[in-house]
Amino acid sequence: MASEQQPAAVPRWTPSPRRRQDDDEADRKGAAGMVSDLGASMRGTEGFPFGSGRSFQPPPFLPAAEAEQPSPEISVERNDENDRVAFVVARETSSLRRPEQGAVLAWEDLWVSTAGGSRRRVPILCGLNGYARPGEAYVTQDDVLMNTLTVREAVRYSAQLQLPSGMSAAAKRERAEETLREMGLEGAADTRIGGWAHKGISGGQRRRVSICMEILTRPALLFLDEPTSGLDSAASYHVVSRIARMARREGMTVVAAVHQPSTEVFGLFHGLCLLAYGKTVFFGPAADTAQFFALSGFPCPSLMNPSDHFLRTINKDFDKDIEVGLDGKTMTTTQAIDTLVNSYKSSVHLAKVMHQIEEIRANNEGQLVKKERQPTFLTQSWVLTKRSFVNMYRDLGYYWLRFAIYVALCLCVGTIYYDVGHSYGSIQARGSMLMFVAAFLTFMAIGGFPSFVEDMKIFGRERLNGHYGVASFVIANTLSSTPYLALISVVPGAIAYYLTGLQSSGEHFGYFAAVLFTTMMVVEGLMMIVASAVPDFLMGIITGAGVQGVMMLNGGFFRLPNDLPKPVWKYPMYYIAFHKYANQGFYKNEFLGLTFPKYNDQAGAGTVITGEEILTNYWQVQLGYSKWADLAILIGMVVLYRVLFFVIVKLIEKMKPMVQRLRFRSDMPSVQVTEQGFGSS
């Protein structure tokens, strides 16, 4: 095969001379770790060599001249349902890290598939071979950030959550500032990230903030999913080159997917991987790729971005288009891919990769990465609490609009039931007003669900990268919402309470506010559970509203407790609904100690009815325990719902891989793997 010939010297593309001198030096040394994903032309991922430093031997695919120097190590990252072309550059091995700090992973004849229609499996990766060295950390494609924070605040909070406990607060702040400078964000450091309610930084700057937050710890291996997304060509080059320089200085391995790299960005690539629909088209030095394509019959036109040429050659989405080989013959894109795949299979490049895998297996290189000690549980919980509280009070919709709605509703309640008095008719009026507070004012806590969904997205990203645990998130969310819910319970609650003319002692109002506050905490806990099980925004609100609606019906107001059908609705639903304990607590707090005129059409007026009689006969309230027991049960529900949220999140983390394995096994009879490829039985 042509690819077996000794590679000739192929000119490398060089970036614009406008770059800084220190960037120039970093680029000449090849200190980068990049993967460029050129769009929807291939499916799946493949890994390439990337290493741990001084103990690493030069990869066998390097030309002799390059093998004399410490060689870059190559890796690739990306896996989704779209078809992909992946380019890889790796960092230089002049590492500050010791070899024992890394881990080595090798894979041979790797097949990956996903469930398709008619119980068939669809191949994603087909017989791939590769190897990888030390590893941790990951930056997602979507920029999941708190919109209310400034750029500096977001990075500083992230530094406090991630950097080791041994670092001083000043050192953590300096690391955050240094990282902001490296990503060119000094000018936007005090600008809010922004969202629908507040215009903030650009999409490209958001991308750089996401990168900043994950390179704070200078991880041994960093995965960047499309770090140049939303950036113009100049910003893309500077971001890539600065990551490259950091990789060389800190001894990091960086693996990144990049959309359609410009010629300058492509010039930073040292190694290249091409995948076509799960098959390896090429694995080797970027400088050899153009020659490989040319000798296989697909030369790159002059003055054309090589990445564009490679993408066009192996993109069969438009398979009616044809490729013209050196011999003048035409072929479809599928035929072109097959030609390139077969050329690679018989080339020296694949043989050298397989040899490297054998060496890794024989030497058993690498050990697990040992992370430095993270901040303590209490420190992480405190930092998360501060960050969440700042996010809440700056959120116009979550905080201030909801507060205004609560004030307006309580004004309505207070004026409708104004000075309700102590007549016989006030019994029903008092009960209705208290039920509305227990049911509908607490129902309004569902308005915080959209904000919590955003918090869950941030939690998912940071949890994925090991920034903190589930318990810290639960505690922080609870503590940060406490002042806000307390404010709602006291201010709007006082408006409704005193305008209505309920018992005016401080002890009675204090209990009223405590029950209102606790029931709101219960509802927030309930919505946390809903968000963990139904993460979709609209479906979550519908589900939460439905659950609360059922609980309202069983709360003892719309249907008195003794009239509820015993199967299901009274046992167990009546005792599960938090409205039961809120209503009973409110009723006991208000009616005990009061008397009302007893009106009877036959006997006339003149007798009185006590609060105890009203609770027992009118509202069918259980008087075997005090109102404080109802409040204690509500507090127990607050704790219980948050514990359930914790358990559900942990179960999802553990059960999801098991479910995927079971689904795969259930579909296995329809899949057959042979030496020739992927087939169905």
- Mention every residue, 6+ apart, whose C-beta is less than 8 A from residue 182: 212, 215, 242, 246
Arithmetic mean of pLDDT, 207-234: 84
Taking only the tens place, the pLDDT of each residue in 239-282 is 888 888 887 788 777 777 776 788 888 777 766 778 888 888 88
Plot region of 586 (φ>0 → left; ψ -120 to 50 → alpha; else → beta): alpha
Q: Which residue has the higher pLDDT, 632 or 55?
A: 632
- Taking only the tens place, the pLDDT of each residue in 444-499 is 888 778 888 888 989 988 988 889 999 999 999 999 999 989 998 999 999 999 99
With cut-offs at 50, 70 and 90, classify the pLDDT of residue 500: very high
Helix (H) or strand (E) holding 568: strand 567-568
Yes or no: say if 125 and 367 are a contact pair by the CB < 8 Å rule.
Answer: no
Question: What pLDDT is stored for residue 351 in this prediction?
Answer: 87
pLDDT band at 614 (very low <50, low <70, confident <90, very high): very high
Report d(CA 390, CA 384) in Å as an integer: 10
Q: CA separation (Å) from 592 to 218, 317, 419, 420, 596?
A: 64, 76, 19, 17, 11
Distance of alpha carbon 531 from alpha carbon 536, whole angstroms: 8
Query: DSSP characters for 66-133?
Result: HHTSPPP--------SS---EEEE---S--SS-GGG---EEEEEEEEEEE-GGG-EEEEEEEEEEEE-
DSSP state of 278: T
Q: Mean pLDDT, to the nearest integer, of 281-306?
A: 86
pLDDT at 97 over 60: no
**CA-wise closest residue to 31 among 233, 306, 250:** 250
Burial class (CB in 10 A: 0-12, 13-18, 19+), 407: middle
Q: In what order do the strands lie in the sheet with 253-257?
A: 138-139, 221-225, 253-257
Q: What is the pLDDT of residue 618?
A: 93
Q: Which amino acid is at 193?
A: I
Where would I find the H helices in 183-332? 203-215, 233-250, 263-266, 286-295, 306-314
Cα–Cα nearest to 223, from 45, 27, 473: 45
Omega before residue 450 within 30° of 0, cis:
no
Q: Is 478 exposed, middle or buried (0-12, 13-18, 19+ CB in 10 A)?
A: buried
Q: Which of 186-190, 386-390, 463-467 has the lowest mean pLDDT?
A: 463-467
Residue 77 vs residue 222, higher pLDDT: 222
Average pLDDT for residues 140-153, to the nearest whole number?
Answer: 87
pLDDT for 269 equals: 72
CA 322 to CA 24: how far, in whole Å? 40
Q: Which two tokens stand for residue 287?
A: 């400088």
Section 348-377 average pLDDT = 74
Q: Give me the pLDDT at residue 558, please.
A: 93
User: How far is it, in rounded angstroms, from Cα 360 to Cα 41?
Assistant: 32
The mean-pLDDT minimum among 268-277, 427-436, 461-470, 575-584 falls in 268-277
Angle at the Cα of 492 (from 491 to 493), degrees rounded to 5? 90
Integer Cα distance of 91 and 218 in angstroms: 13
pLDDT band at 365 (very low <50, low <70, confident <90, very high): low
Buried/exposed 138-164: b ≥16 CB within 10 Å, e otherwise: bbbbebbbbbbbbbbbbbbbbbbbbbe
Q: How many CA atoms lie within 13 A of 182 on its CB side?
A: 24
Strand partners, 607: 598
pLDDT grade for 79, boundaries at 50, 70 and 90: very low
Report the C-alpha gap between 198 and 179 in whole angstroms.
Answer: 25
Smallest Cα–Cα separation from 155: which of 216, 239, 226?
216
Residues with Cβ within 8 Å of 655's Cβ and at least 6 positions away in sequence, in order, are none
Q: What value does the mean pLDDT of the chain take?
A: 77
Task: Encode pLDDT of 12-55 as tens digits.
Answer: 333 333 333 443 343 333 333 333 333 323 323 333 333 333 33
3-state secondary structure of 191: coil
Could you tell me what percent of the chain has a pLDDT over 90?
Answer: 40
Q: For position 148, what pLDDT does the model report?
A: 92
Q: Tokens representing 281?
A: 């088209």
With residue 23 as reference, give the H or E element that holds it: helix 21-28
When pLDDT is cut at 50, 70 and 90, the band that residue 656 belongs to is confident
Contact 422, 596 (CB under 8 A): yes
Q: What is the maximal distance between C-alpha atoms in the chain?
A: 115
Instruction: Give the Cα separation of 356 and 282 in Å (integer).
Output: 16
Judging by beta carbons within 10 Å of its beta carbon (0-12, 13-18, 19+), is residue 113 exposed, middle or buried? buried
Mean pLDDT of 61-88: 36
- Quote the pLDDT of residue 104: 52
671, HSE (Cβ side, Cα atoms, 13 Å)? 21
* 536-563 confidence digits (pLDDT tens): 888 999 999 999 999 999 999 999 999 9
- What pLDDT does 106 receive? 62
Which H helix or E strand runs over 526?
Answer: helix 506-533
For residue 299, the 8-state DSSP code is P
What is the per-residue pLDDT across 389-419, written as a single tens digit (0 to 9) for each?
999 888 887 788 889 999 999 999 999 999 9
At 489 the pLDDT is 92
In this prediction, residue 600 has a pLDDT band, given cuts at 50, 70 and 90, of low
Q: Pick the residue with more confidence: 560 or 141?
A: 560
N residues, the chain: 681
Task: Please tell me the predicted confidence (pLDDT) of residue 341.
Answer: 92
